[in-house]
Structure 1
């Protein structure tokens, strides 16, 4: 039987320089004054913020912390500590009142499970509104923190955390982002923190993903980099074929999240 494979290792110094050039190029071409980053205390947003600071300087990066009443206190503290260590301006903007204002004006039944995900996605979209308000006010761009793993399986809210101006780490799998975080000096408690979207109380990525990221990333590499069939990926990684098929299903069912809305006739191009 053929051997398994690992997620490709990165050269952190080279990767950092490449991403920093990309950030500067995007911001300069847009004529923007800087960037706004939503900082959650997780690894993706922390790495994104650190890279933006390296690329543009701390004075051109604004970090927004947008907690709810159920956001873990540790996450807020981690985000604040990171912002301070990076030397960036940061603002803490609790979103509970804004979310409640929406829900009070919309059909909503507290405790009804059918309303849980619409309300969860509303929280992500409220954060998007806050980010773009500040970006418009300050003539800045919104830097997204989605990684390759999340983007491929559509693990983000459409027009929520998926609504950004550019994605600096979209080419890196989650395990590669953690590797880069260590090199950038991100504290280990952040670099290795389990992913938790926290869109509702107790919300954890591990409860929603086909597998933990170390396994999921290998599956994604097999499907998208090595171009293997699901059965071959399952056999070579010694995982259930259902896991691989579910990963592929999520990619296919979320294609709409990664594309512009369908049009009857495409827009003209020069």
Structure 2
């Protein structure tokens, strides 16, 4: 078990030492370097109102400013992607006020997501209806959001930023080819408390930094807390990622989640090699 624990930490890239100021600088520089070496001009990121997109957005805006200070033309486009009316819209707007992106684009994904679900149900209602209907619709929402971001990136010579970090990667808490799809992951290898620490260093507001995390994908359970889905707390997840001992029940839940979601973290299978 100890060997598996250490292996998981290593696979997710969680470092033993952590300094919020150093990580903020390193990760904004990473974004800037990646834009330039890719011969791109734009960073694109969906802003939800949670701490992950807040932190990634602040890093992105600093990255493009770094590029411009060096004489390289670059901009950051923040994207609002509500499904109709978002329950925590005020938090999303507050995030934008803090980040101050070069440009903000709003795209309502509801028409596209509803149309896709309706078309699926027309000929395969038995596969998606029932108690899991809103779960399946939530995955469609996540993928429609990524379609929108890539459309913008394609038109702006841009790269799409993902907000995946070690805590969500550990639990497999992302939609495959939805929020799990991106060109660049500036929060990779950080656990949740480290993401919050970076956000604090960058000057994010405490109410957004310590807001209860939620994916807000299931229409029948808006703002459902992540921890309720996990069955464990972020503190337990973060302690696990930092190599600390946690309770047996939490340990088994985390290991089960990690093992059962391995396919989400893997590249597509191919009959080569």
What range describes the TM-score normalised by the shorter chain of this pair?
0.7 to 0.9
Q: Which runs of 5+ in 2 are unaligned?
A: 1-14, 69-73
| Corresponding position: 1:208 with 2:229 | yes
Aligned residues: 244
Give the aligned partner of residue 105 of structure 2: 91
Runs (5+) with no aligned partner, structure 1:
1-6, 227-232
Maintained 8 Å contact 1:210/1:216:
no
CA distance in 2, matches of 1:186, 1:134: 26
Q: What does residue 153 of structure 1 align with?
A: 171
Q: CA deviation at 1:9?
A: 6.9
Give the equivalent residue in structure 2 for 1:63: 78
What's the CA shift for 1:191?
0.2
Q: How does 1:1-270 map to 2 (within 5 A)?
A: 10-57=18-65, 60-69=75-84, 71-72=86-87, 75-88=88-101, 89-107=103-121, 108=125, 112-201=130-219, 202=221, 203-222=224-243, 233=245, 237=246, 239=247, 241-266=248-273
Instruction: Say what the alpha-carbon RMSD is for the aligned residues.
Output: 2.1
TM-score of the superposition, structure 2-length normalised? 0.83
Alpha-carbon distance, 1:86 to partner = 2.8
1:221 deviates by: 2.6
Determine the C-alpha separation between the residues in 1 that align with 2:41 and 2:118. Answer: 37
SS at match of 1:37: strand
* Aligned equivalents of 2:85, 2:240: Cα separation in 1: 32
Distance of 1:70 and 1:250 partners within structure 2:
31
